Homo-oligomer: A and B are copies of this chain.
Amino acid sequence: MKKYTEITIYDIAEKLNLATSTISRALKDHRSISEKTIKKVKKTAFEMGYQPNNLAASLRNKQTKTIGVLLPTVTQPFLSSLISGIEITAKKAGYTVMIMQSHDSYDEEVNLAQSLYNNRVSGIICSLAMETQDTSHFQIFINNNTPLVFVDRVPKNFNTYRVVIDNFSAGYKATKHLIDQGCKRIAHLSVGSEFGNLYSERKKGYLEALKDHNIDIDEQLIVRLTTVTYDEAEKGTNKLLDLKNPPDGIFTPGDILGVSALQCAKKRGIKVPEELAIIGFNNDPISEIIDPNLSTITHPAEKMGQAAAKIIIKNLKSLKKDDIKEITFLNTEVLVRESSKKK
């Protein structure tokens, strides 16, 4: 049985009695090649079913023109918008995107980072796994001058580019919004402290807003969740609503949590927003579907992706190891919907 062999520029060269270099150049519309030759080469290349081999080209060029994207998961609406943003910018610049999911596991993240590096991605955009406590597995990118950008869930002490929102001020805004609506006892579902610490920033914003408005902090109103899940949030909300002196507002640092709280309140016959105002975070599609609509904090997710990709592309040519890498902050906004509109 005949074994399959690739058709290479060498085959084309042979057929046309030209040099491989000519073929290579013609295929890329090199200006030093005559129109006629270019046409001829492309035509026969097509006829012969030639397919360029990126591996060979990348090896030779020492660049793959692909951006690696390493995320906890691809299902979170926020992250998928982020990907869209990356894709848009990457495409414009002629880059391909390679997506991998860590599933919030540190071990997987380590492996995939390796794998991405071994495939010599031109740059990498990463949002850390929940579990990740140290980021030494990204050191290879730094050491080898591969642009690295962290997004959203970023490490604290690591000199790299970061594209984030100001979680503190977003948490502040969300809480202030509830205060403005007349809430006096505002609860918070907080999520276990973590390395990327975006939840803890949101919580700090919450605390600060209360303080600034002379509202005493009641520890009973802060329920700590271990995971960001619907069920955990339900338990937490029940705990809050079981209090002698229950809250009249809840700020949840995520929409799933907000939706859960909302449903929980409804089940108990508590009117939202009249008796309990709720605001979430992220503007997930579900926040719009739920009844009443969930107020939330909007992220410019797609823009974050674009910003991250732009940093990669910009730095491909000029990257100095010890430069100080700036942090890009993007805006958040309070999106007021029914679940918090008391007035």
Contact = CB atoms under 8 A, between A and B. Distances in A.
Given A96-B119, A289-B290, 11 more contacts: A4-B144, A53-B120, A54-B120, A59-B59, A66-B119, A74-B74, A74-B83, A75-B75, A263-B289, A286-B286, A286-B289
Interface residues of A, number: 43
Copies in the complex: 2
Interface string A125-150: 00000000000000010011100000
Interface string A32-74: 0000000000000000010111111011000010100000011
A77 B74 contact: no
B99 A74 contact: yes
B64 A55 contact: yes
Contacts of A117: 51
Given A74-B80, A289-B230, A55 B120 contact: yes
A335 B52 CA distance: 48
A56 B59 contact: yes
Interface of A: 4, 6, 49, 51-56, 58-59, 64, 66, 73-75, 77, 80, 83, 87, 96-101, 115, 117-120, 140, 143-145, 230, 259, 263, 266, 286, 289-291
A96 B115 contact: yes
A260 to B, nearest CB: 8
A74 B98 CA distance: 13
